Amino acid sequence: MADVRRTCRPGFFLSVRVLSRLFRRLFLEQLSDACHASSLHFIGEHHTLAEAKHFTEWLQPLRQGEWIAYAKRPFAGPDAVPAYLSRFGATRTISRPFFLLLTSL
């Protein structure tokens, strides 16, 4: 079998595919660990996900699909993070209390 090496864009450590698969694995592992530690609370129609078997079945399709991790250049330091996050305020992606918490750190 030939030795296949994939390069990534200049200035980046990992290719998007490698970064995406790594992020997917780590994210789903942390989510699964949180469920098993009873750190997640499911209500309403999703209450059955509190059981490990149901939660694992629910996660299975997420393990199969390809994810895309978006990587930006590093911030100009910690002070630039609130400015970056404030641009999401109009879309309500980040709640105001959460943003205020970040700016008070």
The model's pLDDT over 50-101, given as tens digits with 9 standing for 90+, comes to 888 999 999 999 998 888 877 666 667 777 777 777 776 555 555 666 666 6
What pLDDT is attached to residue 83? 74
How far is CA 35 from each of CA 42, 48, 58, rounded to the nearest angstrom?
10, 12, 12
What mean pLDDT is predicted for residues 5-22? 75
How far is CA 17 from each of CA 9, 79, 90, rounded to the nearest angstrom?
12, 30, 30
What pLDDT is attached to residue 54? 92
Identify the band that residue 105 occupies on the pLDDT scale cut at 50, 70 and 90.
low
First to last CA, the chain: 52
Mean pLDDT of the chain: 78
Residue 8 token pair: 């990534």
Q: Is the pLDDT of residue 25 over 90?
A: yes
Residues in contact with 77: Cβ distance below 8 Å, sequence separation at least 6, in sequence order: none
What pLDDT is attached to residue 66? 87
Answer yes or no: are the C-beta atoms of 16 and 23 closer than 8 Å: no
What pLDDT is attached to residue 91? 55
What pLDDT is attached to residue 26? 93
Residue 27 token pair: 């994210």
